[in-house]
Amino acid sequence: MKHKPKERKKMNKMIIASLVLALSISSVNAGWHETFDTPATLTPALTITSDMTWAWWGWGSCVVDSGHVTLVGAADPFGNTTSWIQIDQGIDVNAAITPDTAEIYLKVMFTTEGTPTTNDQLHVCVATDPNFLTNLNVYTVVTSPTSDTVGLMGQFYFQTNESYGAFCPPIVYDSWFWQKIIVVGDTVSMWAFADGEAPADTATWTYTTDNVAVGEGAPTFIIAAVTDDDSSAVHIDEIWYNERPTGMGIADYAPIASKYELGQNYPNPFNPTTHIRFNIPETAGAKLTVFNIMGEAVANLVNGVVSAGGHTVSWNAENMPTGVYFYRLESGNFTQTRKLLLVK
């Protein structure tokens, strides 16, 4: 079931403006991985070196010990509780970053000595505009513990502070889990799965970073731990970038959308705006139309050539009456219809 996540503790947009990035560009497309097996402490220059060298942004804490890095948030200059690390070839020459085509795995655990809360989050920046210091054009993949039965995974956009997501397999405190991210062009697909298991064939969530043009992403990799207070921590045991962990039953790299799919709108019921996700496996013409209960078309959300991958569109029904509506996706020989409910 997909839904708009609960309101999160806001990470003030000004956080981004405080980051000073080394945006070096390289033609190297090699993969790399970080195990954090070598203990490390911060240097006066706010870097930390284990397998790789990382920059830390100066608030909260960052410690490499016991085979993983621990990030604990603290009050930053803008009233949030965060801790950030970043890597690129300006920091470590071996850290080739490919913002438009990447396969990423992170082994993560949340811990807390306080009250469990969805305000404890991990953000992985997957689309960063070179001009983000002024336009805040940054998309992240966000994960958060929710309960012993489900976790929460989705997208976050700094420029508008908007986030959407879906329930995923359990993300619980004191238990390691894996996060898998695939970036193909401007489409991001993400999975969460318990340590010792393999990811599902279908992604937990897919979305389009359509405000960061393909070929213009900043070649840098940023991870942000967001904690409710300093009683919580985010631990990262391993990071694999364009390399794949062994022994996990991970299928071969494949396009994000391997089949046609029309997702259930979220939220549902809604008032007045809802969001509809769909996948198509190849670039093709597509129509996404909303109908009333009489079968009359009341909105044309998509009508034209759509690139392969996952897409999300929104429908604002502010001028429509309460009631049941239907939305239909047509592309090639594929047709699927779903129901949605507007309640005012």
State residue 248's pLDDT score.
Answer: 64
Q: Tell me how far apart the alpha carbons of residues 84 and 233 are, in angstroms, rounded to a whole number.
A: 12
Q: What is the pLDDT of residues 233-242, one digit of tens each?
A: 999 999 999 9
Return phi, psi of residue 15, to 5°.
-55, -45
Residue 28 scores a pLDDT above 50: no
Phi, psi of 14 (to 5 degrees): -65, -15
Looking at residue 5, its pLDDT comes to 43
With contact defined as beta carbons under 8 Å apart, do 89 and 26 qualify?
A: yes
Residue 148 pLDDT > 80: no
Q: CATH 2.60.40.1930: which residues of the chain?
A: 261-342
Of all residues in the chain, the percent with pLDDT exceeding 70 is: 86
pLDDT at 11 over 70: no
User: Exposure of 336 by Cβ count < 10 A (0-12 exposed, 13-18 middle, 19+ buried)?
Assistant: middle
pTM of the full predicted structure?
0.68
Range(s) within the chain of domains with CATH label 2.60.120.200: 2-241
Residue of 293 and 28 predicted with greater confidence: 293
More confident residue, 253 or 96: 96
In the structure, what pLDDT confidence band is assigned to residue 312 with cuts at 50, 70 and 90?
A: confident
Topology of the domain comprising 2-241? Jelly Rolls (2.60.120)
Mean pLDDT, all residues of the chain: 83
How many Cβ atoms sit within 10 Å of the Cβ of residue 24? 14
**Contact in structure between 268 and 128 (CB atoms under 8 Å):** no
Phi and psi angles of residue 227, each rounded to the nearest 5 degrees, phi first: -120, 150
How far is it between the farthest Cα atoms of the chain? 69
Pairing label, strands 74-75, 232-241: unpaired
Q: Rounded to an integer, what distance in angstroms lies between the CA atom of residue 140 and that of residue 127?
A: 7
> Buried b vs exposed e over 227-239: b needs ≥16 C-beta within 10 Å?
bbbbebbbbbbbb
Measure CA 319 to chain center: 32
Band of residue 256 on the pLDDT scale cut at 50, 70, 90: very low
Whether the Cβ atoms of residue 165 and residue 153 lie closer than 8 Å to each other: yes
Tokens of 31: 């993969």
Evaluate if residue 109 carries a pLDDT over 90. Answer: yes
Does the pLDDT value for residue 21 go beyond 90? no
pLDDT at 224: 93
Whole-number pLDDT of residue 52? 97
Q: pLDDT tens, 115-143? A: 777 789 999 999 999 988 888 899 999 99
Please classify residue 27 by burial: count the beta carbons closer than 10 Å to its beta carbon, then call 0-12 exposed, 13-18 middle and 19+ buried: exposed
Q: What is the 3-state secondary structure (H, E, C) of the chain?
A: CEECCCCCCCCCCHHHHCCCCCCCCCCCCCCEEECCCCCECCCCCCEEECCCEEEECCCCEEEEECCEEEEECEECCCCCEEEEEEECCCCCCCCCCCCCEEEEEEEEEEEECCCCCCCCEEEEEEEECCCHHHHCCEEEEEEEECCCCCEEEEEEECCCCEEEEEEECCCCCCCCEEEEEEEECCEEEEEEEECCCCCCCCCCEEEECCCCCCCCCCCCEEEEEECCCCCEEEEEEEEEECCCCCCCCCCCCCCCCCCCEECCCECCCECCEEEEEEEECCCEEEEEEEECCCCCEEEEEEEEEECCEEEEEEEECCCCCCEEEEEEEEECCEEEEEEEEECC
Superfamily of domain 261-342 in CATH is Macroglobulin (MG2) domain (2.60.40.1930)
Q: Which residue has the tokens 């013409």?
A: 285
